[in-house]
A and B are shown apart, each in its own frame.
Chain A
């Protein structure tokens, strides 16, 4: 068994600094859920395929299951908990609710963060651009029609 030393890790999550001491082999997903109790970020495949663990790092959607927490220091991390303003849901979250784009909800945090990043970069995406952006986020309940509709409604507002 290889040697491993615990290390101090400082993470900026949702504009708050969190200092923890942890092993370097912990993924960002594990630290978010187990140490910071931000359980909105989900674990499903654990190998970067499904997108349920998606968080934003410096504004770009990435897989937190394939990111080492220790390597995410010095970056701005946004989880689904960081999207709402107080009790008010973010418009992307509202759109998902209003368009029934949620069934079991397991893919929703990743899907919403991916949609949020897309709309931030491109406020008026076409349907093809929407489908391309969420092509790495897998939903096993609703199909994708309602999710695409929800994002499209915001794209139309952006026009």
Chain B
């Protein structure tokens, strides 16, 4: 299917990009790798008047691993994140998540910013016009009903990004710039929790950087994902675990963030040791929105998210033990 018509913009630096979106606001869509945007355009889910290509902006591309924080440019290719030895050593879950995104060819194109800001999905929404014309207009398409949950008063579309759960596990923040101002917010604050309009970002804002603070003491992490095939597919459930220990090797923090669990990643904090893995897994089971609107049924995805939670915690704990 051909892409709809648009005018093409290609800024040479961030400042020019901010000016371009400042004057065009909602009429412009930002393209980095293009792997999410072009598919949505092809399905006519969006038909922007302007497409702004930011893939050549080198000033927001790259990984800077520092002592107190690590900065990843929004334009950094996922391949570079998956292959960065320093980043992988320190933030294993983030490297693993990047490694598990789609397929290697896609990660040669897809970027950190694009992955983070990919739209929510639902089998009653991500379809061609031919299919959608035969369906009633749902919340995501500006209607008043949900086709996945009968009587649903809101949109239950699912956020299927791999990177966000891993970043949130490390308390990452992101930098949003617009002409004349910059703000830094927690990655969790990017999400509204509403599938119809999943992101709390202004139309004139550009995501430029991700900042990961350096955790204190000894810590480790892991990311686990459920999908139909061993490659290509979006997560149908996922879990990123972060575990840290005191000098006495007592677990003092455990955080699990589950993905493909609703319109935003869901965060679970709690102390952890072997005895309460079950508790975290139970929490994940309860937090998961088990709706039949993806390629596997909701009940199975819900069971699997608790399994993935345990596997991610165990992998992070095993890595900690190896490092001790």
Contact = CB atoms under 8 A, between A and B. Distances in A.
A64 B34 CA distance: 11
Contacts of A27: 3, 38
Contacts of A46: 1, 42
Nearest to A75: B56
A48 B104 contact: no
B231 A135 contact: yes
B7 A24 contact: yes
Range, interface on chain A:
35 or more
B5 A25 contact: yes
B7 A3 contact: yes
B142 to A, nearest CB: 19
Nearest to A54: B105
A64 to B, nearest CB: 10
Given A23-B5, A61-B108, A66 B38 contact: yes
Interface in B47-92: 47-49, 51, 53, 55-56, 79
Given A67-B34, A135-B230, A4 B104 contact: no
Interface in B229-273: 230-232
A119 to B, nearest CB: 14
Interface string A1-13: 1111101000000
B5 A2 contact: yes
A51 interface: yes
B31 interface: yes
Contacts of A54: 105
Interface string A132-155: 110111100000000000000000
B10 interface: yes
Contacts of B53: 68, 70-71
Given A3-B7, A68-B53, A70-B8, A61 B105 contact: yes
Interface in A45-72: 46-49, 51, 54, 60-63, 66-68, 70-71
A93 interface: no
Residue among A1, A3, A23, A49 with max Cβ neighbours from chain B (10 Å):
A49
B184 interface: no
B150 interface: no
A71 B7 contact: no
B300 interface: no
Contact of A135 (B10, B42, B232): B232
Given A67-B109, A135-B230, A24 B51 contact: yes
B103 interface: yes
Contacts of B10: 70-71
Given A62-B108, A133-B104, A2 B6 contact: yes
Interface in B123-145: none
B39 interface: yes
B47 A48 contact: no
Given A1-B5, A3-B5, A4-B6, A71 B39 contact: no
Contacts of A1: 5
Contacts of A114: 105
B2 interface: yes
Contacts of B102: 48, 136
A66 B109 contact: yes
B106 interface: yes
Contact of B6 (A24, A62, A137): A24
19 contacts: A25-B2, A27-B38, A48-B39, A49-B232, A51-B105, A60-B108, A62-B109, A63-B105, A63-B106, A66-B33, A66-B38, A67-B109, A68-B34, A71-B8, A71-B10, A71-B55, A133-B104, A135-B230, A136-B106
The 7 A-B pairs with the shortest beta carbon distances in the complex, nearest first, are: A136-B103, A135-B231, A24-B8, A4-B5, A25-B3, A136-B105, A60-B108
Interface of A: 1-5, 7, 23-27, 30, 46-49, 51, 54, 60-63, 66-68, 70-71, 74, 114, 132-133, 135-138
Interface of B: 1-8, 10, 31, 33-35, 38-39, 42, 47-49, 51, 53, 55-56, 79, 102-106, 108-109, 230-232
